[in-house]
Structure 1
Amino acid sequence: MESKDTLFKKKTTLNCRGKLLSLDTPLVMGILNVTPDSFYPGSRLSSTEEAVERARVMLSEGADILDIGGYSTRPGAADISSQEEQDRLIPAIEAIVREFPDVILSVDTFRADVAEATIKAGAAIVNDVAGGTLDEQMFETVARLQVPYILMHMRGTPQNMQTFANYSDVTIEVLDELQQQVHKLTRLGVNDIILDPGFGFAKTTEHNFELLNRLEDLRILGLPVLVGMSRKSMVYKTLGIHQTDALTGTTVVNTIALTKGANILRVHDVKETKQAVELYKKTTL
């Protein structure tokens, strides 16, 4: 039988296009949305030039990874074709990589063909909000490409996911559903898997806070954990404020996540999150 220390030991590096990214200290992932309908208007970018400029700012603020998406996954978001998603993503990815050759780009997509095209364009990580449930080719594609894969928990689609927010024990059920997908990925030879419990995806506000409270339970799978709570409704609706005023609340829930073992924070506000990480690190010396 494995000891507790061995069971909970997490992978400490990610291989991103031959560059090893250390997880010894928490990383900050900045959000780039080349979409007209992302849930947070402040993150919407309407041109390749805007995407490059936002990337410049986030990298100067200390972002370790940039996560670029071309398909809005907010509740009730409009569906778009794979081709339109690629048309939004690929020019922006190519321009950012050209301007910042050392950047580590993650692509936010649930489609295998989009993942493959964007990795070829210069992205290094696939961030799948559907955790392989919306495209049966995704796992085989990621295994063939041999890139890190962010496995997020979601039920249904972005259009109907909130109708599936029914759990007896949300943490146990999310963990079980993630574990089933991890098993499939490891059998295919995917080496770098990051878990994301999917705050706000097929979950109520109460579910979100229960998951945050028990985030440490995900350690049992021995994999890095990413959390994405930035300016989400679990923050601003709880506080009775607008999402544009949700930076302080976001920083608080992210700091709680750090104390519970989060390895990557996916955020709109890089500078403030890096400050929170620096202060958190002082408590772990």
Structure 2
Amino acid sequence: MSQPYAEVIGDPIAQSKSPVIHGFWLEKLGLPGRYDRAHVTAEGLTGYLAGRRSDPDWRGCNVTMPHKQAVIPLLDRLDPLAARIGAVNTIVPEEGGLVGYNTDAPGFLEPLQPLLAQTHYFRMARVLGTGGAARAIIAALADAGMVIVLSGRNVEKARALLDELDPKGEHHVAPLDHFADATDFAFDDRTSCLDLVVNATALGMTGQPPLVFDISHAPPGSVFYDIVTSPLETPFLKLARGSGFATVDGLSMLIGQADHAFRRFFGATPPRGEADAELRSRLLA
């Protein structure tokens, strides 16, 4: 007997944790359906989507690297946020066509919502990295009223990204190695301010060199956020926590973006709150 299903596509794909997340929620809600992995190469992307269009059981897919931009010309419509970001991580069949969404942006912001709900005199985010993951993060932070300092190896690329994603914002750029050396900068009173330091690079990921960041660049009360999920406790987060700063790990964004996708795939609200602790245990098993 057929059942509704969704999946995640990418190349490679074996490392994806999305099937565990969506499978956990389907199980908890007692919903019929499944969530799979599908290894799709660049050459096979067009054929994959063409085949899924005619499958009545297919509820959509999440899209991971390297396809988040390549899928765009193959879709019938883009959600406005996905069009602005220029990247799609969720595809859903709607009204006879394929619609592209970006759930990375709201997923990134989800663990920050208690802070963002507060009133601040000033909000600043130091975002380290100018790759594909940074696009959704920049758009999300700009919409949350953050002044962004975008840091990358190529400052021209950083400036172009800011100008593309938030052309009216008063943002700044800095070379990535600027944050590697200590600073004696005297931060002003950060009371009633919100400061973030975000690792949007793959540095610190298993098999990659660590991100070099000197803690003196973090204003008092900063929140450190690392989107890397393997390992979950990166050197970047260890440094921050050891210095007394609050931290947010990569599973927070991963679960947050999956929440938005699950609602579109299966038409149900995933169990969150206390259930997140059990889900994290499964993801780390």
Both proteins in one fold, TM over 0.5: no
Normalised TM-score (structure 1): 0.32
Structure 1 or 2: larger helix share?
Answer: 1
Q: Greater relative contact order (Cα 8 A, min sep 6): structure 1 or 2? A: 1
Normalised TM-score (structure 2): 0.32
